[in-house]
Amino acid sequence: MVAIDEDGVRDTYNDVRNDGTETNWVVYKYNDAKAIEVSATGVDYEEFLKHFVDTERVYGFVRFETGDELSKRAKFVLITWVGVKVGPLKKAAVSTDKAFVKKIVSSYAKEILADRLEEIQYDTVLEQVKAAGGANYGVGKRDED
C-alpha cells in the first residue's frame, strides 16, 4: 500500500475546485520515500506541463473553463502520467496507487492516462473535455450554406 499525504492532496484538490481561488492545477508526485505528495500548484498550463517528464509518475488535476457565450462552467481533468522511461514495476504500481489518489480526487469530467506530452496539450485536453460533456451549444451566428 502506498502512503499518501491525504491532507495535502485534499487541500490542493479543493483549492483547484474552488471558484474563489486562482489555482488552476495541482501536481502530485512520489517523494523519495515512495509516498504521494503535493509537488506543485499553479495557474499557467504551460508551467503545469513542465512537471510531466519521461522518468516520473505524476498525477495532475486541472481546471478547464467550458461552455458557450452565456454559460461558462468549470470542468476538471485527472491526468495520470507514466513517463516512457519509468521501469516496469513502477508502471505496474500506478494501477493500484491511483486508487488511493482517486479516493480524494474524486470528481472530474475526464480522466486521461498519458505518456506523451502531445496527449495532454491544452487544446487536445479541452476538446476531450468538451466531447465528454455532450452537447456543445453556442449562441453565435450560424454559418450559412
Task: Give the pLDDT band of residue 72 (cuts 50, 70, 90).
Answer: confident
Residue 142 has pLDDT above 70, yes or no: no
Q: Which backbone phi and psi does 129 adopt, to 5 degrees?
A: -65, -45
Residue 87: CB partners within 8 Å, gap ≥ 6?
none
What band does 68 get if pLDDT is binned at 50, 70 and 90? confident
- For the entire predicted model, the pTM comes to 0.89
The helix or strand, by DSSP H or E, that contains position 30, with its residue range, turns out to be strand 25-30
* Strand pairing category for 72-82 and 36-42: unpaired
What is the largest distance, in Å, between two alpha-carbon atoms of the chain? 62
Query: What are the pLDDT digits (tens) for 74-105?
Result: 999 999 999 999 999 999 999 999 999 999 99
